[in-house]
Amino acid sequence: MHCPTPIEVTVATTLRALLGAGALAASAALAQAPGPAPLPAPLPAPAQGTVPQPVPSRGRLLYETHCIACHNSQMHWRDARVVRDWPGLVTQVRTWQERAKLQWIDADILEVARHLNGAIYRLPQPGPA
Ligand code: HEC
């Protein structure tokens, strides 16, 4: 094992600085090089990560994880829908999570009912929203 002398350290530092400058010059040249003519893009791809996405609520996450497999919003929009009022909606959510054996606590049931109410049913809801 050998400790670097001050001169060796200086040489290494200078070398790194030179290499760094070289890399910079190379990338500057690349940036200026004319690229191939841009192809007309038929459909712009959705820009991932550039548009801030709203953070999904817990109710929405629970619903989309456990419930959406069997039914889509059609089921909630249809004329013959089962849910008529807020208690009915909570009952349906409770029933469905039981059928799916999810063992949700009341808070989860309410979160999902709130999510569905906000997204679809828009029923008058008792208590603080
Ligand atoms: C096994 C498939 C399946 C799963 C899983 C499921 N559902 Fe359903 N859901 C249905 C079917 C089928 C109906 C329609 C029943 C009817 O017409 O009476 C329904 C109806 C409903 C309704 C009433 C819709 C309306 O207004 O008519 C609600 C609310 C609901 N489900 C919530 C949930 C929630 C919350 C979950 C997740 C915990 C869930 N469901 C999971 C199949 C499923």
pLDDT, tens digit, 9 for 90 and up, residues 67-125 = 988 877 677 767 777 899 999 999 999 999 999 999 999 999 999 999 999 998 999 98
Q: Report pLDDT for 25.
A: 45
Q: Please state the rounded mean pLDDT for residues 18-32.
A: 47
Integer Cα distance of 93 and 90 in angstroms: 5
Decide: 82 in ligand 1 pocket, CB within 6 A: yes
Instruction: Dig out the tokens for 86 from the structure.
Output: 């807020």
The finding on whether 66 has its CB within 6 A of some atom of ligand 1 is yes
d(CA 59, ligand 1 centre) in Å: 15
Q: Identify whether 117 is part of a domain.
A: yes
Cα dihedral 100, 105, 111, 114 sign: positive
Q: Is there a contact between 49 and 76 (Cβ–Cβ < 8 Å)?
A: no
Could you tell me if residue 25 is inside a domain?
no
CA 58 to chain CA centroid, nearest Å: 13
Residue 87 lies in a domain: yes
Into how many domains does the chain fold? 1
Sequence letter at residue 59: G
- Taking the centre of ligand 1 as the mean of its atom positions, its distance from the CA of residue 101, in whole angstroms, is 13
Residues 86 and 125: beta-carbon distance below 8 Å: yes
pLDDT tens string 81-97:
789 999 999 999 999 99
The tokens 């828009």 sit on which residue?
A: 122
Domain that holds residue 90: 58-121
Is 105 inside a domain boundary?
yes
- Does 101 reside within a domain? yes
Is residue 128 in a domain? no
Distance 54 CA to ligand 1 centre (A): 26
Give the C-alpha separation, 91 to 62, whole Å: 16
User: What is the distance between the alpha carbons of residues 109 and 94, in angstroms, rounded to a whole number?
Assistant: 6
In-domain check, residue 80:
yes
Q: How far is the CA of 71 from the centre of ligand 1 (A)?
A: 7
Give the pLDDT of residue 114: 96
* Residue to mutate (ligand 1; options 79, 96, 101; most atoms within 8 A of CB): 96
Question: Residue 104: inside a domain, yes or no?
Answer: yes
Per-residue pLDDT, 28:
45
Across residues 33-57, what is the average pLDDT? 66
Rg from Cα positions in the chain: 30
- Supply the pLDDT for residue 22: 46
